[in-house]
């Protein structure tokens, strides 16, 4: 029997996985949209978004709209690959349970 694939520690966290799950379904999303969907606090969400950015899983763009700052996030090809591998590892684990 093959050993279990190790779960990506960047994704194996509640809020970061929630952010990635939203971003995999859309083209790009504003920070406020991610906050609304994950129901996390702005501070915690900022920290987790920064971690995903450092891992190269998402891109973060800073813009302005009507003089208000706007943070737009979208998933990178590396993020899509990591997400698929994570889901595959989870399915593998659940399949053998």
Least distance in Å: CB of 49 to another protein?
13
Give the footprint of another protein on residues 29-88 (CB under 8 A): 29-30, 32-33, 36-41, 44, 48, 65-66, 86-87
User: Distance between CA atoms of 32 and 36, rounded to whole angstroms?
Assistant: 6
Least distance in Å: CB of 4 to another protein?
10
Angle of helix 42-54 relative to helix 31-38, nearest 10 degrees, comes to 110
- Of the CA atoms within 13 Å of residue 87, those in its CB half-sphere come to 10
Least distance in Å: CB of 18 to another protein?
5
> Among 5, 28, 84, 88, which residue sits at the site for another protein (rule: CB under 8 A)?
28
């Amino acid at each position: 029997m093959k050993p279990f694939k190790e779960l990506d520690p960047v994704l194996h966290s509640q809020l970061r996985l929630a952010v990635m799950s939203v971003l995999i379904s859309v083209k790009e999303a504003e920070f406020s949209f991610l906050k609304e969907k994950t129901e996390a606090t702005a501070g915690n969400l900022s920290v987790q978004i920064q971690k995903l950015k450092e891992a190269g899983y998402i891109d973060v763009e800073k813009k302005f709209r009507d003089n208000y700052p706007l943070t737009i996030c979208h998933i990178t090809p590396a993020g899509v690959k990591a997400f698929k591998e994570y889901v595959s590892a989870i399915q593998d684990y659940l399949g053998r349970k």
